[in-house]
Amino acid sequence: MIEVKNLTCEYFKEPLGLDTQNPRISWQIESDKQEVKQSAYQLQVSKKQSFENPIYDQRFESHESILNEIKDLKLDPFTRYYFRVKIWCQGEVPTDWSPASFWETGFMNEEWEGEWITAPEKMEKSEASPYLYHSFNSRKEISQARVYATSLGVYELSINGSRVGDQYFSPGWTSYHNRIQYQAYDVTEYLTADHNEIGVSLGNGWYKGPFGFEGKKEIYGDTKAALVELHITYGDGTKVKIVTNKDWQAVATPILMSEIYHGETYDARLEDQRNHNVETVEVVNYPKHHIIHQQNEPVRKIDELIPLEIFTTREGDTVLDMGQNMVGWIKFNVRAEKGHQIALKHAEILDEEGNIYFGNLRKAEQKITYTCKGGGQEVFEPHFTFQGFRYVKLINFPEDVDLSDFTGEVLHSDMERTGDFETSNPLVNQLHHNIVWGQKGNFLDVPTDCPQRDERLGWTGDAQMFFKTASYLRNVGPFFNKWLKDLIADQLSNGGVPYVIPDIISKTDGNLGGVTHSVAAWGDAAVIIPWTLYVSYGDKRILEEQYSSMKAWVEYMRSQGEDENLWDTGFQLGDWLGLDSEPDTYTGVTDKTLIATAFFAYSTQILIRTAKVLELNDDLEAYEHLYKKIKDSYQDCFLKDNGSLQVQTQTAHVLTLMFNLVDKRSKEKIAADLVTLIEQEGVHLTTGFVGTPYLNLVLSENGYHYIASRLFLQKDYPSWLYQVTKGATTVWEHWDSIKPDGSFWSDDMNSFNHYAYGSIGEWMYKVLAGIDTDQTQPGYKHIHLAPKPGAELTWLRSTYHSMYGEIGSSWTFEGEVFTYNVSIPANTTATVTLPGAASPVKNQKLFLEAIGEYQFSGENVIVHIGSGNYKFQYEYNVLEGSL
């Protein structure tokens, strides 16, 4: 039995308002058979659910089942397109048709009829959120209704008093002057055949609210505005549009203040004052040509957390413990008299004395203030703000307050969860959990450094370092497709890449080294992320779209040095937070020219690979030439005659190995030297943001997996598990955010939810679980399964939902019997490297004939298999395998 399932269009299941001209269709194949391969497919597209007279019906001799582009189909705006697929697998008989799916177009190239509207000046100038609305009678039965909406600021849409949709912080954060997203909603069920009211409440959000280090207001503009179109189709086929224009009205809401950093002030007494002070809106002259459809999954409520306890601190505060450092807000119930005011103040951590600690939030207030309307139980959750917290100080709550009055609502971009990982070591499992929560907390529409202090910015370096881990945990294809377009939008004309995307630092201050852009390992996000996204999801379009930006960044680097092959000028962040310099400093001591030139070489290497994929032969040749010259200069500058490095830091060794900057013999020497440097620290790391993501990868790759394992298992400072033993539930910004003596790193920069060091997740999935893709058949079309057991684990279970389906890689030791179970999705193949299997095979204790081809490779055996589930079992002497 072979079935075609899980159809998606541009990564999404049944998207509305998708304006892609040549959408790409993906599907998954399920089968109980082994070695299933698609040899051809037929794709039908129809405006009718019955597929009668399809407008597109083509068969392709193709083995590709993901991101297949529909070409040459002229798409109409505001139209639903159904599609379905059948496939052929090694034979003449096709499968049945898949269940039908659909996508719906939005504006395509149509003009917006609605106008941008805002509240009258006085209302707009006050801190309170305005509500802009319009009432109308429908008089006829409605068969279908859609709303298309966007705003300057953030908005919540409602119809007849009900909040529409389950999205938050729409229209999301983009480089607003270049791109503003709109959202599409199916609102058929919200309307009545009689009187209706449609409206939007507006918050300042990233557009107008205080944001960035300086808390500057109005970074993008001083006027919030809404643009809405409601398209109604009646039962009799006639259509009408209700659009924002001068006829809409405005009224202030009970949301007296709502800002991303600072929280919200809400006066429920004002809820019934709706009909006072109604005014007419003003039309705003703001362009519409750069409005685009929503590119990534919206932010939604993803989890609900029940608090662990309410307790009183030494200082006498009543504090709620959520048991998890989370991002979102508290939804609460309260029963009090009219006018009674309560407040919640959010923090990540308790100090040494057990008191709630707000110091590291800097200027972010993270405070919710609520005034009761009285008369029974009131339920509240905020609107245009989010908090990063585990603990909540409850201020002035009535005596009857109870744990069950609080729910932690966790919000983030609704990306599909793809990775699962569990082992025999609970501390390792907690580390994995912390990495997962680091991603949750920092993937709220853009990848941020941290979610709690007055920062929450799209730091390019952090995103680049964590990208591969992020892509194991969740499908981040659309999320980064969107963000990379903002990177293009904000990239400088000389190819420079801002520190943060969307770039607000240039619009506010330049307090880091007096510049706002273009440092090594941060700017390289422009090259590393598109490539890694392509490799992870087989998304070739991202390379086509980003290529000019990638090339511009490499050219920027080339133009920096005194000599064009070395980047030795300007400000650099260096190995950020590396531990090899003086305690409590921001940058490690690794030579900044070495770091900059190493990344220059690496990005050039990726550009070469990209040019190869895109068949840009002139560029390929030119950049191969450049790469050779950079490598030569690097070696001239940093390699001694004896093959060791001039710069004796762990990070220098890690980068040299990771980016292949020396020949094989020097590599062996440098790997051995790296181990010596690690041993000199009592088998501890000293790497910062730049070296850490690659540290264990290069050790395992260069014959020192056992050292990687020991580093990974360390529990004392500095190590990954140190923070776990200190009770962390997310990943800290510093190795010593809490120092061994219990004190904290300075308040000026101490986040307890920063994903950069969570980049160890890549090694956990790629090396311990052994799941990786083949770069020449990306998106896990060809899978490498090469687990390297280690870290004293007796078992490990891992799955990864690739675009083709679920990959499984799980192993156990029972005594010396090693059992390895794998599952390979249909329409993919795998090369499995069985660790330590050479002697069992040679001694006929493991029989592989049934599987097909295999080869020996040192201690290991390499097996080539197709889709299906397989089990390998043999005696594996771990000591002999030197793990």
User: Which residues contact ligand BGC (rule: CB under 6 A)?
Assistant: 449-450, 455, 459, 461-462, 512, 573, 576, 749, 754
Active site (annotated) includes residue 218: no
Q: Please, what is the minimum distance in Å from the beta carbon of residue 362 to ligand BGC?
A: 10
Do 348 and 360 touch, CB atoms closer than 8 A? yes
Nearer to ligand BGC, 168 or 576 (CB): 576
Facing residues of 871 across strands?
Answer: 821
Other Cβ atoms closer than 10 A to 231: 18
Measured torsion, CA atoms of residues 442, 446, 450, 453, in degrees rounded to the nearest 10: -130
Do 443 and 479 touch, CB atoms closer than 8 A? yes
Q: Please, what is the minimum distance in Å from the beta carbon of residue 461 to ligand BGC?
A: 5
Q: Please, what is the minimum distance in Å from the beta carbon of residue 455 to ligand BGC?
A: 6
Nearer to ligand BGC, 243 or 573 (CB): 573
Residues contacting 737, CB < 8 A, separation 6+: 723, 744, 745, 750, 751, 752
Nearer to ligand BGC, 319 or 595 (CB): 595
Nearer to ligand BGC, 360 or 560 (CB): 360
Nearer to ligand BGC, 459 or 780 (CB): 459
The residue with its CB nearest to ligand BGC is 449
Q: Please, what is the minimum distance in Å from the beta carbon of residue 708 to ligand BGC?
A: 24
Nearer to ligand BGC, 454 or 762 (CB): 454
Tokens in use for 189? 């069920």
DSSP β-ladder status, 195-203 and 299-305: unpaired
Q: Please, what is the minimum distance in Å from the beta carbon of residue 457 to ligand BGC?
A: 7
Using omega within 30 degrees of 0 as the cis cutoff, is the peptide bond preceding 171 cis? yes
Nearer to ligand BGC, 19 or 449 (CB): 449
Q: Please, what is the minimum distance in Å from the beta carbon of residue 733 to ligand BGC?
A: 6
Residue with structure tokens 């005194």?
562
Please provide residue 868's backbone torsions phi and psi, each rounded to the nearest 5 degrees: 130, -175
Q: Please, what is the minimum distance in Å from the beta carbon of residue 111 to ligand BGC?
A: 41
Tokens in use for 748? 């000026």
Other Cβ atoms closer than 10 A to 378: 16
Active site (annotated) includes residue 733: yes
Do 135 and 247 touch, CB atoms closer than 8 A? no
Q: Please, what is the minimum distance in Å from the beta carbon of residue 579 to ligand BGC?
A: 16
Tokens in use for 311? 């307790």
Nearer to ligand BGC, 332 or 745 (CB): 745
Selecting among 409, 455, 701, 762, the annotated active-site residue is 455
Overall residue count recorded for the chain in this entry:
883
Question: Rounded to whole angstroms, how far apart are CA atoms 123 and 105?
Answer: 36
Question: Rounded to whole angstroms, how far apart are CA atoms 816 and 155?
Answer: 60
Other Cβ atoms closer than 10 A to 58: 14
Selecting among 264, 348, 733, 762, the annotated active-site residue is 733
Do 707 and 683 touch, CB atoms closer than 8 A? yes
Nearer to ligand BGC, 459 or 483 (CB): 459
Question: Rounded to whole angstroms, how far apart are CA atoms 392 and 370?
Answer: 15
Question: Rounded to whole angstroms, how far apart are CA atoms 849 and 198?
Answer: 68
Closest C-alpha to 383, from 299, 260, 297: 260
Helices (H), 64-115: none
Q: Please, what is the minimum distance in Å from the beta carbon of residue 510 to ligand BGC?
A: 12
Question: Rounded to whole angstroms, how far apart are CA atoms 394 and 385?
Answer: 18
> How many Cα atoms occupy the beta-carbon half-sphere of 759 within 13 Å?
23
Distance of CA 294 to the CA centre of its chain: 16
Catalytic residues: 455, 733
